[in-house]
């Protein structure tokens, strides 16, 4: 019986197609919000605000750093049970305390109002990619167990430039679960020197030797 005539296989194929379609629809949301924010920045620039891209990128970096370092803010972003009104009040209060650019503060309010705050990390990533493409830059996502110092970030940037990546912009993210070392993703390349990965490779090697 050909695979297409097998009902069970046909069901699996249909289910996989539905899953792909659903994933595509979900991935489209962060790109749509990021594109809207970039379009707003374009309007400001056309009106003579030459520093809007740098100011916006710096403020969004601050928002991302806040997500990485503040357990309170991560809970606010990640917990869907928090009512919208409480989420809005807390998010705007945190934005004001952090001194975020008014455009980013308002954008955060829109995300909360539309119940998309849980997508904030992916929206920030999508915006970085769009802005880097606009500037002809490459964005390197650097994951570390603890925040990098300015000197360490510059060292990573210099290493990537020596590896052949021109006009690199570093986007840092903190993930204590990697234990130490770094994970660097730039374009389709992944450089993983994290302690977690080393331990996993050691574990696999020990299993193979057993």
CA distance 120 to 200: 30
pTM greater than 0.95 (yes/no): no
| Same domain as 6, residue 91 | yes
CA distance 100 to 68: 16
| Same domain as 186, residue 83 | no
| Same domain as 141, residue 131 | no
Closest CA to 150 of 65, 73, 55: 65
Say how many C-beta atoms besides its own lie within 10 A of residue 106's C-beta. Answer: 15
What integer is the mean pLDDT of 180-199? 84
Let me know how many helices (H) and strands (E) the chain has, helices first.
8, 4
Confidence of residue 27 (pLDDT cuts 50, 70, 90): low
| Same domain as 76, residue 11 | yes
Rg (CA), the chain: 21
Q: Which tens digit of pLDDT belongs to each residue from 121-175?
A: 889 888 888 887 777 777 788 889 888 888 888 888 888 888 777 778 788 888 8
| Same domain as 160, residue 104 | no
| Same domain as 168, residue 97 | no
pLDDT score for 11: 57
Which residues are CB-neighbours of 41 under 8 A, at least 6 positions away? 52, 53, 56, 103
* Last residue within a domain, chosen from 92, 107, 135: 135
Is the confidence at residue 87, as pLDDT, over 90?
yes
| Same domain as 149, residue 125 | no
Q: The CATH number of the domain where 208 resides is what? A: 3.40.30
8 Å CB contact between 120 and 42: no
What is the extent of the structural domain holding 22?
A: 1-135
SS (H, E, C) 125-182: HHHHHHHHHHHCCEEEEEEECCCCCHHHHHHHHHHHHHCCCCCEEEEEEECHHHCCCE
* Last residue within a domain, chosen from 104, 135, 166: 135
* Last residue within a domain, chosen from 135, 154, 186: 135
| Same domain as 142, residue 130 | no
How many structural domains are present in the chain? 2
| Same domain as 131, residue 36 | yes
pLDDT score for 191: 84
- Coil/strand/helix, residue 80: coil
| Same domain as 129, residue 183 | no
pLDDT score for 16: 52
- Coil/strand/helix, residue 116: coil
């Amino acid at each position: 019986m050909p695979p297409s005539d097998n009902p069970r296989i046909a069901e699996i194929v249909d289910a996989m197609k539905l899953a792909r379609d659903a994933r595509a629809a979900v991935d489209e949301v962060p790109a749509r919000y990021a594109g809207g924010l970039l379009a707003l920045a374009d309007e400001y620039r056309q009106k003579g605000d030459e520093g809007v891209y740098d100011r916006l990128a710096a403020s969004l970096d601050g928002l991302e750093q806040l997500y990485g370092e503040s357990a309170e803010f991560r809970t606010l972003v990640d917990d869907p049970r928090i009512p919208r009104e409480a989420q809005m009040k807390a998010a705007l209060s945190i934005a004001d305390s952090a001194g975020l650019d008014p455009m980013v503060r308002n954008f955060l309010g829109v995300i909360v109002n539309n119940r998309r705050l849980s997508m904030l990390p992916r929206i920030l990533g999508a915006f970085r990619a769009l802005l880097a493409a606009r500037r002809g830059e490459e964005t390197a996502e650097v994951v570390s167990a603890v925040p990098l110092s300015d000197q360490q970030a510059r060292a990573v940037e210099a290493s990537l430039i020596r590896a052949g990546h021109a006009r690199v912009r570093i986007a840092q993210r903190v993930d204590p679960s990697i234990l130490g070392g770094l994970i660097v993703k730039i374009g389709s390349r992944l450089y993983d020197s994290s302690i977690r990965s080393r331990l996993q490779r050691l574990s696999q090697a020990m299993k193979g030797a057993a």
